[in-house]
Amino acid sequence: MVAGPLRTRLEAPTRPHPRRRATPPSDPSHLLEHARKVATRQNNPDDDMSAANFFIPSLPGQPDDVQVTMYGGHIPSAPPKLGVKDTHSDAHLFFFMVRNKHIADTERTLLWFNGGPGCSSFDGGLMEVGPFRLVPNGDGKLVEAEGAWNEYANVIFIDQPVGTGYAYMATGSYVHELKEVGAHMIEFLANFYKVFPEFVNHDTYLAGESYAGQYIPYIADAILSSKRVPTNLKGLLIGNGWIDPANQYPAYLDFALQSGIVKKGSAAETAVRKAVDECEQHLKRQKVERIHEGVCERILGAITDSTIQNVNGQSMCVNNYDVRLTDTHPACGMNWPPDLVDMHPYLSRQDVKSAFHATRKSGPWLECDGQVGAQFYTPRSRPAVRLLPGLLEQVPVLMFAGAEDLICNHVGIERMIDNLEWNGETGFGNATQEEWHVDGRQAGTWTTARNLTYVKINDASHMVPYDQPVAAHDMLLRFVGVSLLSAAGPAAQVPSRIGNEIPAVLGSTHPNGTALSDGETYASGSELDALPAAGAEDGSSSSSGGGKSTGGLLSGSSDAALEGLVNASSALVLVALMGAAFALFLCVRRRVRNGAGGSRLARVAGGDGWAAIGSSALGMGGGGGGARAGKHERVGSRASARGERGGVRDGVGVGEGGDEDPHELDELMSRRGGGAPGYRDETTEEEGDVDGRRTGSRGALGRRDEEEKVFGLGDDDDDDDVDLDEPRLGGAGAPRRHH
């Protein structure tokens, strides 16, 4: 069956024989075939690829109040054969791109791949790191996702190899080797950059999970070796990856015993251990390493078979992707996650395919295409672990693992790292494994050395972002080095720390944007007190584990120090400005008082003027004008006040009849005049009595007019509010920056 319409190009006309007379063809079908080829070439959408044609205004079921910039469609990926353009395989990969919401410091683009082989990257796009999720039983309604990775990066979800998801090719043009995957991606990127040339300069990352542990190293190697695509490759992220079969196959039993799936000393352990022994003997006899070993696949089968139980007449077994769950036998996890129930009909709808510009792929959408997987048997491909040492010399690599996954479990990944030699040493050596906290709880552990970072995520399955979206996003931001000192968005409001770092948070909202309740805080004082001083212990930060730092959020010796300098500098500048303003105020008052002929300060009961409202709002009144107070906001609450018209306005007095608490300036003024807060100027008691009976009068020229000229008292519109939204330095509501 042809997965997509076969398009062939018009061949060059043959030159007639010089000694023969050219005669028109007698068969009219030749002309019809010629016309069909010309029409096909003219209607080939590949000849008119543009960003405008790939633009997706919105998706069916998308919330009206959510705006996401999206692109999608098919891009040719058939690599040249022996230097000649391939016009027969009709290979096209499908991409779905979501643009970033914020640019923290530089443009970043991340290419996401799911595994299988043959599984669509819509697993990542609609269940893990994409901007939307499908509402369960919601008839195709979408909701905005928490922890989406496009907050600070452009994310491109790619269906590959050809035939996967919305990707298509001509009949029989399947991919069989990992080097072919790399070649197809080079062709795809070359054509992609023609449509989106600005992406050439972006910091680019490759990310994915499961069998993408094979895809990503091969694609990275192809990019770094290619002269056709000037991709600015900055790093690789592999989650629960299938990378090193020789170390990962035997680890099945160890993980099963640790997690309690198989009981130590049980008959199940004996059966599984026998399968492990057979696998290891087979691997020793093998002269060539392979990615799939049928003998070794029996280990996983023995484990799942040992968990079969009859529940209400239904055979159930452990979920291979999340050992906390069960599934029907023999699926054992293939029916998970439950989101697939809604994804299959949604992505198969004609209006949805039209919105994604994916109508050139015939038939319904399949999460994992069995034929693509069967054809991808990789007879000559070596396991991707052999490429890692060379890649680690050029780019940083992050490996992360959900602690509850069986099929690509963390024990096997850790064993692979222990036996891997890169950048002059084997394993992590003396690098410290440190606790990683996100949003007030331990998210997992973090280890870094010589360009390799390993993160184990607690309470997470084979699909880490599906279970722990906020922690997974924090992990991404740390690895790619996003500096949140100048960033916006919910990620800047989630506290995070590794080891002895000081947790910090910017703003006072939850990751979903809702306000914190009264008294709620992300980092408690007791938690901060419990932390040892940064750098007090040996190897104090995992970000400095002997290699290039991968922390861009909070680093005990870099970003935290920078933040401290910024805050301290800001505080000093603000204090200096306040001091200068106050000194100017006292100087002007001294001049005015001397110019008024020896006036003195005396308290006026019930007078208006400087008013201390709440804790920080100030107001200044003038004759006939209202004494106005500022506003101070904290966690969404707003305190505001203003002085009322009337009363004695000659000079500076206590607002609202002096009922409010005295302000610091009142105390300073009282030291000068010997009285309590609230004063007016009078040359004699009689004149003061007269002044005290005046209401709303501006008075004659003198000290008060001079004050009005300097400070503009009494001339402002009383209906205007003074906005003092900035919280006080050091106050309870002062924001803390999250790195």
Residue 687 in this model has a pLDDT that exceeds 80: no
Would you state the pLDDT for residue 567?
Answer: 56
* Residue in 157, 153, 158 with CA at minimum distance from that of residue 203: 153
Residue 593 pLDDT grade (very low, low, confident, very high; cuts 50, 70, 90): low
CB atoms within 10 A of CB 314: 9
Residue 541 in this model has a pLDDT that exceeds 80: no
pLDDT: is 168 or 693 the higher one?
168
pLDDT per residue over 518-533, tens digit each? 444 444 333 444 444 4
Q: How many CA atoms lie within 13 A of 460 on its CB side?
A: 29
Would you state the pLDDT for residue 245?
Answer: 97
State the Cα–Cα distance between residues 161 and 167, nearest whole angstrom. 8
What mean pLDDT is predicted for residues 339-347? 97
- For residues 423 and 547, the answer to whether their CB atoms sit within 8 Å is yes
- For residues 380 and 175, the answer to whether their CB atoms sit within 8 Å is no
Exposed, middle or buried by CB within 10 Å (0-12, 13-18, 19+), for 25?
exposed
Would you state the pLDDT for residue 580?
Answer: 85
Residue 424 in this model has a pLDDT that exceeds 80: yes
CA dihedral of residues 551, 553, 557, 562 (deg, nearest 10): 140
Residue 154 pLDDT grade (very low, low, confident, very high; cuts 50, 70, 90): very high
pLDDT per residue over 392-403, tens digit each? 999 999 999 999
What mean pLDDT is predicted for residues 627-634? 35
Residue 661 in this model has a pLDDT that exceeds 90: no
Among 108-122, 245-259, 478-492, the least confident range:
478-492
pLDDT: is 293 or 548 the higher one?
293
* Residue in 155, 208, 220 with CA at minimum distance from that of residue 181: 220
State the Cα–Cα distance between residues 170 and 5, nearest whole angstrom. 8
Secondary structure class of 538 (helix, strand, coil): coil
Would you state the pLDDT for residue 511?
Answer: 42
Residue 29 in this model has a pLDDT that exceeds 60: no
- For residues 549 and 235, the answer to whether their CB atoms sit within 8 Å is no
DSSP 89-127: S--EEEEEEE--S--SSS-EEEEEE--TTTB-THHHHHH
What mean pLDDT is predicted for residues 140-163? 96
* Residues classed as catalytic: 210, 405, 462
Residue 540 in this model has a pLDDT that exceeds 90: no
Q: Which two tokens stand for residue 475?
A: 């992990």
Beta strands in 439-510 (DSSP E): 441-449, 452-457, 496-498
Would you state the pLDDT for residue 486?
Answer: 59
pLDDT: is 532 or 223 the higher one?
223
With pLDDT > 70 as the criterion, what percentage of the chain qualifies?
64
Residues 6+ apart with CB under 8 A from 46: 7, 76
Would you state the pLDDT for residue 88?
Answer: 83
State the Cα–Cα distance between residues 86 and 109, nearest whole angstrom. 28
Among 54-68, 304-318, 707-721, the least confident range:
707-721
State the Cα–Cα distance between residues 593 and 601, nearest whole angstrom. 9
Would you state the pLDDT for residue 632?
Answer: 34
What mean pLDDT is predicted for residues 97-122? 95
State the Cα–Cα distance between residues 715 and 560, nearest whole angstrom. 46
Residue 447 in this model has a pLDDT that exceeds 90: yes
Secondary structure class of 38 (helix, strand, coil): helix
What mean pLDDT is predicted for residues 456-460? 98
Question: In Å, how far are 169, 327, 600, 725 from 323, measured between CA atoms?
Answer: 37, 10, 83, 50
pLDDT: is 148 or 558 the higher one?
148
Residue 219 pLDDT grade (very low, low, confident, very high; cuts 50, 70, 90): very high
With pLDDT > 90 as the criterion, what percentage of the chain qualifies?
56
Would you state the pLDDT for residue 78?
Answer: 92
Would you state the pLDDT for residue 84?
Answer: 83
DSSP letter assigned to residue 208? E
Would you state the pLDDT for residue 483?
Answer: 79
Q: Any idea which residue has 């009142």 for tokens?
A: 666
Question: In Å, how far are 109, 381, 408, 453, 460 from 236, measured between CA atoms?
Answer: 12, 20, 18, 10, 20
Secondary structure class of 428 (helix, strand, coil): coil
pTM beyond 0.75: the answer is no
pLDDT per residue over 270-279, tens digit each? 999 999 999 9
Would you state the pLDDT for residue 697?
Answer: 38
Mean pLDDT of the chain: 76
Would you state the pLDDT for residue 13?
Answer: 36
CB atoms within 10 A of CB 657: 15
What mean pLDDT is predicted for residues 31-42? 48
Q: Which two tokens stand for residue 479?
A: 């690895």
Q: Which two tokens stand for residue 180?
A: 């072919």
Would you state the pLDDT for residue 555?
Answer: 40
* Residue in 261, 105, 88, 277 with CA at minimum distance from that of residue 170: 88
Would you state the pLDDT for residue 731?
Answer: 35
